Chain A
């Protein structure tokens, strides 16, 4: 699986957009980009995933560069409840089922401030 690089921490003002970058320069053509977050004392929460097109859902937008070597997770209007550790994960699609070991790494600790 491609390795990902994320900044260890970021701050964002409440109500502003939070843009969380992720570098995955060794990504392969069949690897997807997944984003999760973990709020303190809770289990990780799936946010969004994509292959090459930009994706949007009710939680966030995912922008993947044309060369797919990096991506940005955008929380359009961050709230205090978005304070969490955000994980960017790259995984290939396994047609036989899950590969099992989703590696979460250290992620980016996002602090949303009033």
Chain B
């Protein structure tokens, strides 16, 4: 089974801190994603990457950056954490296969609940 591992389940940070959220997948997937989930707003895409060193902005990239130096690892960076970035952060990956139509078959991690005080 595909495993998507997020480095922390719970994280508490102070306003203005630089925050790193790490995500590792073990199935050689090309696509990787970062979402945040908030009550009443559903899942919203922050950034995604379809290859090493490649990144694409999602719907809400402001205040975030990402890094993908290796295929298996996709990091989300909050340059200066703010209270409105308190949220559940979810990482996901998918395999690129036209034949199997798996581009949108996402495997999610367990999530990181980030609280910014």
Which A residues are closer than 8 A to B by beta carbons? Answer: 32, 34, 36, 41-46, 49, 51, 89, 91, 93-95, 97-106
Contact = CB atoms under 8 A, between A and B. Distances in A.
Contacts of B106: 36, 44, 46, 102
A98 B110 contact: no
Nearest to B44: A101
A32 B100 CA distance: 11
Contacts, number: 68
Interface of B: 4, 30-31, 33, 42-43, 45, 48, 50, 56, 58-59, 90, 92, 94, 96, 98, 101, 103-111
Contacts of B96: 97-98
Contacts of B92: 43-44
A49 B103 contact: no
Contact of B33 (A32, A51, A100, A103): A100
Most A C-beta atoms less than 10 A away, residue of B43, B94, B111: B43
B59 A101 contact: yes
Contacts of A105: 42
Contacts of B58: 100-101
Contacts of B45: 100-102
B108 A93 contact: no
A93 B109 contact: no
Contact of A43 (B42, B50, B56, B110): B110
Given A97-B30, A98-B96, A101-B59, A45 B103 contact: no
A59 B1 CA distance: 14
Across chains A and B, which 6 residue pairs bring their CB atoms closest together, nearest first? A43-B108, A97-B50, A98-B103, A100-B48, A98-B31, A101-B45
Contacts of B110: 42-43
Contacts of B109: 43
B56 A100 contact: yes
B54 to A, nearest CB: 9
15 contacts: A32-B101, A34-B105, A41-B111, A42-B110, A43-B92, A43-B110, A43-B111, A44-B90, A45-B108, A49-B105, A93-B98, A93-B103, A98-B94, A100-B58, A101-B58
